């Protein structure tokens, strides 16, 4: 995600991505933090 944003967004935008997977039947989460 961090590398792909360089193709579509301004390089001045800082982006970090976190993907969390936990061992349960139905669950996942994603965190996106964008600074302008």
H/E segment holding residue 23: none
Q: Supply the pTM of this predicted model.
A: 0.31
Can you tell me whether residue 24 is helix, strand or coil?
Answer: coil
What is the distance between the alpha carbons of residues 29 and 36, in angstroms, rounded to a whole number?
Answer: 23
Q: What is the pLDDT of residue 1?
A: 63
Q: Which residues are CB-neighbours of 22 under 8 A, at least 6 positions away?
A: 28
Per-residue pLDDT of 1-36, as tens digits, reads 666 766 777 777 777 777 666 677 777 766 666 666
Can you tell me whether residue 3 is helix, strand or coil?
Answer: helix
């Amino acid at each position: 995600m961090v590398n792909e944003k360089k193709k579509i967004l301004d390089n001045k935008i800082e982006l970090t991505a976190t993907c969390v997977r936990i061992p349960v039947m139905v669950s996942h989460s994603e965190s996106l933090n964008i600074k302008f």
